[in-house]
């Protein structure tokens, strides 16, 4: 991961179409991510204008928000055809991973999260 110290937030999605829609047709804060198919797709880029997602497994949790897992893929969806993104998601779901680097992060459900990236931090 580029930003292992970032505190991530995530929203659980039930449908592949929702994940693809979220990654291609919306701009999200860099702390934002999605949970789909037992994988976290975490905003690990430098800018909201150039989204990049690190895909990680959830091997075990620790405390309230600690997640131990493996980074298994990366995607920069900006400008990619939806079919290429769909194939990437299918590969991740089938376990055809690009890597398996161990990683530990903090991930909070979106309703619990507040940080400087999403600008929900209290003044």
Mean pLDDT along residues 10-32: 92
Task: Specify the pLDDT at position 22.
Answer: 93
pLDDT at 114 over 90: no
Place of tokens 């995607």: 75
Residue 56 pLDDT: 97
Secondary structure of residue 100 in the 3-state scheme: coil
Specify the 3-state DSSP secondary structure of 86. Answer: helix
CB atoms inside a 10 Å sphere around CB 116? 10
Average pLDDT value for the chain: 90
Per-residue model confidence as pLDDT tens digits over 71-94: 999 999 999 998 999 999 999 999
pTM (predicted TM-score): 0.89
> Using alpha carbons only, what angle is made at residue 95 by residues 83 and 21, rounded to the nearest 5 degrees?
30
- Look at residue 111 in the predicted model and tell me its pLDDT: 63
Do residues 89 and 20 make contact, with C-beta atoms less than 8 angstroms apart?
Answer: yes
């Amino acid at each position: 991961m580029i930003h292992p110290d970032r505190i991530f937030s995530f929203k659980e999605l039930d449908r592949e179409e929702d994940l693809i829609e979220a990654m291609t047709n919306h701009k999200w804060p860099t702390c934002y991510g999605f949970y789909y198919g037992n994988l976290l797709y975490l905003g690990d880029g430098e800018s909201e204008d150039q989204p990049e997602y690190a895909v990680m497994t959830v091997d075990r949790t620790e405390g309230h928000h600690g997640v131990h897992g493996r980074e298994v893929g990366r995607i920069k969806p900006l400008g990619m055809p939806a079919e290429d993104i769909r194939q990437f998601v299918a590969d991740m779901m089938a376990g055809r991973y690009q890597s398996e680097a161990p990683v530990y992060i903090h991930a909070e459900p979106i309703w619990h999260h507040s940080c400087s990236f999403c600008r929900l931090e209290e003044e």
